[in-house]
Amino acid sequence: VVSKKNKEIITKKLPKEIRKKIQELSLKQSNLKLFYEADRETLLDHLINSDIAFNYLSNQQFISGSFPSKMVELINFSPVILSNFSVQNLKTDRIILFDGTTEDACRKIIQIRKRFNELMDQFEHDVKKRVFLDRFSIEKKSVEMRKFIDEI
């Protein structure tokens, strides 16, 4: 999570190579703090105030066989998500794919900087219209289940 407001980076579960590169870069910035682990409350606080959220998973089998709850959370709280995988039901320009390497992540961040206002406008639209929030809400799913049961 990169938070402009709090000037902090949480690198939970990033590959060692990427954590090391982020650490090197953060040492050059006196206004950034680096955390390797954070409790849930701290993570949510930074996520809500973030400009870019990183989402990296190395296990392709886990990615393909699990519900993407972390991506749902990220898409609702962060303007831009830099991720090494996509989720079919979460198609949006705000998810920027990278190949998992530090070099590609840096290239994508430069691209994000050039498009940030456009991506922020999309985020504000998504939040106001509850685009992803309603799609994955428990209330909406329970209504769908009731309809399904009634049809049986």
pLDDT in tens, 26-70: 666 665 555 556 788 888 888 888 888 888 887 776 766 666 788
Greater pLDDT, 37 or 8: 37
DSSP E strand stretches across 17-129: 33-35, 52-55, 80-83, 95-97
- Does position 12 have pLDDT exceeding 70, yes or no? no
Q: What pLDDT is stored for residue 46 in this prediction?
A: 81
Q: What pLDDT is stored for residue 122 in this prediction?
A: 96
Tokens encoding 143: 């209504």
pLDDT by residue (tens digit) across 111-137? 998 999 999 999 999 999 988 888 877
Cα distance between residue 12 and residue 55, in whole Å: 10
In eight-state DSSP terms, residue 2 is E
Smallest CA-to-CA distance from 136 within 57, 68, 40, 62 is with 68
Percentage of residues of the chain with pLDDT beyond 70: 78
Smallest CA-to-CA distance from 17 within 103, 112, 107, 108 is with 103
Q: What pLDDT is stored for residue 41 in this prediction?
A: 87
Neighbours of 68 (CB within 10 A): 20
Residue 16: pLDDT band by 50, 70, 90 thresholds? confident
